[in-house]
Chain A
Amino acid sequence: GEKVEQHESTLSVREGDSAVINCTYTDTASSYFPWYKQEAGKSLHFVIDIRSNVDRKQSQRLIVLLDKKAKRFSLHITATQPEDSAIYFCAASRASSGQKLVFGQGTILKVYL
């Protein structure tokens, strides 16, 4: 079955710098790649996603890149702010799988002043 690897377990960046979180997946049929954010002690909420028909998507300070050949996708957070500090999860699914998501292990992002 699908495996999603999240390469950075923790990431520390200075406020205002960019943060990049990388994920790889194994199932070539995966076509939907969402990212979720979990703030300390809270639940997960959706932040951005990308589908396999595009290779780049931006929403304000968040950019997602998808490289289907390498089976890699990444989340770029530009101009980081302290409120970006959280755990970020990448995930992947096939379009036809009933939305069964396979999650990466999570990256703890710390933004320091």
Chain B
Amino acid sequence: EAAVTQSPRNKVAVTGGKVTLSCNQTNNHNNMYWYRQDTGHGLRLIHYSYGAGSTEKGDIPDGYKASRPSQENFSLILELATPSQTSVYFCASGVDRGRGDTQYFGPGTRLLVL
């Protein structure tokens, strides 16, 4: 089974502070994704990556940056956190064979911005 881990699992941040969420996968998947989950919205894609050194904007990238320094690691950075970024964040990884494939999700990070 694919293994995707996230840290921290819970985070309380102050408005205007910097927050970094980390994700690690041991599946050697090229693609990695960051989503946020909010009631009534399902999951929404923030940033994604096709491989080390690449980052792409998803559907709701404003206020977020991403970094993919290696195949295994993908970070989500909130430079100036706001209360509207309070949410549950999920990282996922997947292969890309050009036809759609399963994504494997991490356990999630619960972020509260005060």
Point out residues on A near B: beta carbons under 8 Å: 1, 4, 6, 31-32, 34, 36, 42-46, 49, 51, 89, 93, 95-96, 98-106
Contact A105 B105 (CB under 8 A): no
Beyond A98-B48, A98-B50, whether A104 also contacts B100 by CB under 8 A is no
Sample of 12 A–B contacts (CB below 8 Å): A42-B107, A45-B105, A46-B103, A51-B100, A95-B100, A98-B50, A99-B94, A99-B100, A99-B101, A100-B45, A103-B43, A103-B44
Residues of A within 8 A of B33 (CB): 101
- Chain B, 76-114, contact with A by CB distance < 8 Å: what is the 0/1 string? 000000000000001000101011111111111000000
B contacts, CB < 8 Å to A: 31, 33, 35, 40-45, 48, 50, 56, 58-59, 90, 94, 96, 98-108
The answer to whether A49 and B102 have CB atoms under 8 Å apart is yes
Contact B42 A89, beta carbon cutoff 8 Å: yes
Q: In the assembled complex, how far is the CB of residue B71 from the closest CB belonging to chain A, in whole angstroms?
A: 16
B107 contacts A99, C-beta separation under 8 Å: no
Asked if B42 and A43 sit within 8 Å, CB to CB, the answer is no
B102 and A96 within 8 A (CB): no
Q: Does A100 contact B48, Cβ atoms closer than 8 Å?
A: yes
Could you say which residues of chain B place their CB within 8 Å of the CB of A106?
42
The answer to whether B102 touches A43, judged by C-beta atoms less than 8 angstroms apart, is no
Which chain B residues lie closer than 8 Å to A93 at the CB level?
100
Residues of B within 8 A of A99 (CB): 31, 94, 96, 100-101, 103
Closest to A47 in B: B102
